[in-house]
Amino acid sequence: MGLEAGVSETGEPGLRERVKAPPSPELVEAYYAPAVARALRWCFAADMQVHLAHGVMLAECGIVDAAKIRPILAAVRALREAGPGALAVDHTQEDLYSYVERHIVRTLGVDVGGRLHTGRSRNDLNVTVWRMALRDALVALLDDLARFRATVLDRAAAHAGTVMPGYTHSQHAQPITLGYYLVAFADAVERDAHRLTGALRHVDACPLGAGALATTAFPIDRDRTAALLGFPELVEVAYDAVASRDDALETVSALAVLMTGLSRLATDLQAWNTAEYGFIELDDSHSSVSSIMPQKKNPQALEYAKAAAGQVTGALVAALSSAKNTAFGDVNDGVTSLNGPVLDAVDTTAKTIRLLDAVVAKLAVRPERMLQATEDGFGTATELADTIVRETGMSFRQAHAIVARVVRDAIASGKTAGRIDVADLDAAAHAVVGRPLGLSAETVRTALDATANVAARTATGGPAPAEMARMLADRRTRLSTDEAATAAVATRLKRAGEILEDAVDGLLNAE
């Protein structure tokens, strides 16, 4: 009498019948042990769901008699309740599935327990559970990101009138407000959220039923298992289902873009937190101290965020490099090995978002210092040139040359922007165009006033108060829309889980 697949001559499930020797200690250390540990961490719950859904489908389609499926479903539920610690992990097997099947067969015997794997492969099972783990992680991450966006918008509203220098090339450019800076950053984070939502949409497709690569001759119902697992669609072509992990690559790409943006925020905050700027002060709870220099208050949270961004960029490179130049098929390097870096990147990103959310919420702002820096600099020079154009009809290029000369001379004589007067302008105008400008002292003062500069920027997307109010209201509406979309996915997954449990109950209660 022949042996069932995956069972040794002693009746012990093993999945190594094709080879004569156990895995080497080197293979266990390098691959088996970390792969199983990673799967236990990320995939145990999803693995249990897949086994239940597949078992329900096998019974409903008449592929395996319901009397054989019932004890399997009960055993899977009992294992789920006991948790991953119930599995006898001895590192003779390469993946979580193998230990789960061995547990079920040991519990029920090979004639019953060995039937759960009918009509499927580890290939489609493993890629399904990893997609489910990534899907859950992305839903949670999008929730974290939405809360962070809300915090940034709240601080933007609170500081819509807090005037500060805007910088280009790390030099004073034009006056803006802290709120304006933050709403700009909120827009970048919104695009990050949309990139992650797009990645989630591609993750959220079911490979189960693809088998090893070409489906199966058993009359399975792929749509049924997909629905029980909360997937809205299939990865339809079986070969694609087990060969492609562009969903994971897209995810880690979006994470790297997001974390790069967060690192730029952290870089600005770290600079503004210095004594040289003095614009803000990091909360004590997000700071560390020196072991030798008692005056030090180090921006620990910001330095962590910047380093974490590098780690996520490294995860992107690791994932792409693992898949690069691999055969388009089910291969460990191109399909499986990137799961670790990608899920680790999700974890790191989520922690960083939550940290920066707390940092921004508790940030102490020094409006007086920001305004003083704005008035001491020459960021109002553009408005002065624009005023010359409006008042005299002169071309902007001529006005630009006059103001550039005024700024050069003011710096040479130790003047700040606020001390430039009509005489300075007329002297520069004589040198450039051979005549005075004839501007009033009040016109010059208004042009050089930082707060007036901000108020004058009423064009769409500018920092003027009314425009800021409009943009903030619009972004809060868009945030609510995005939150509802993520909540809808979470609700769908929750409902699918309830339907799956009801289907299992129905079979178990039908004895």
What pLDDT is recorded for position 12?
55
CATH of 25-118 given 3.90.76.10, 3.40.640.10, 1.10.275.10, 1.10.420.10: 1.10.275.10
Contact 309, 262 (CB under 8 A): yes
Q: Which two tokens stand for residue 132?
A: 């489910």
- Main-chain phi, psi angles of 213, to 5 degrees: -175, -10
| DSSP structure string for 401-435 | HHHHHHHHHHHHHT--GGG--HHHHHHHHHHHHSS
Res 19: pLDDT:
82
Characterize the bridge pairing of strands 171-177 and 163-168: antiparallel
Query: What distances in angstroms separate CA 265 from CA 223, 234, 368, 427, 429, one per listed residue?
Result: 44, 39, 22, 42, 41
Q: Are 213 and 165 in contact (CB under 8 A)?
A: no
One-letter identity of residue 274:
T
Q: Tell me the whole-structure pTM to 2 decimals.
A: 0.94
Helices (H), 204-299: 222-228, 238-243, 246-272
Hey, what are 226's tokens? 């997909």
Q: Give the angle subtended at the CA of 468 by the CAs of 466 and 472, to the nearest 5°.
A: 120
Q: CA-to-CA distance for 239 and 254, rounded, in angstroms?
A: 26
Nearest-angstrom CA–CA distance, 366 and 92? 61
Q: How far apart are CA 215 and CA 229, in angstroms?
A: 18
Q: What is the number of other CB atoms lying within 10 angstroms of the CB of residue 422?
A: 17
Residue type, 425: L
User: With a cut of 50, which residues of the chain have pLDDT below it?
Assistant: 1-7, 9-11
CA-derived radius of gyration, the chain = 31
CA proximity to 96, closest of 24, 164, 159, 46? 46
- Looking up tokens 């072509």 gives 237
**pLDDT at 343 (0 to 100):** 96
CATH for 124-373 (1.20.200.10, 1.20.58.340, 3.30.1360.20, 3.30.1660.40):
1.20.200.10
Q: Which two tokens stand for residue 365?
A: 């702002």
* Domain extent listing, the chain: 25-118, 124-373, 381-448
- Tell me, what's the pLDDT at 10? 42
CA distances from 365 to 50, 297, 379 (A): 51, 16, 21
Q: 381-448 is classed in which CATH architecture?
A: Orthogonal Bundle (1.10)
**CA distance linking residue 166 with residue 176, whole number of Å:** 5
C-alpha span between 447 and 452 (Å, rounded):
7
Chain centre distance of CA 422: 53
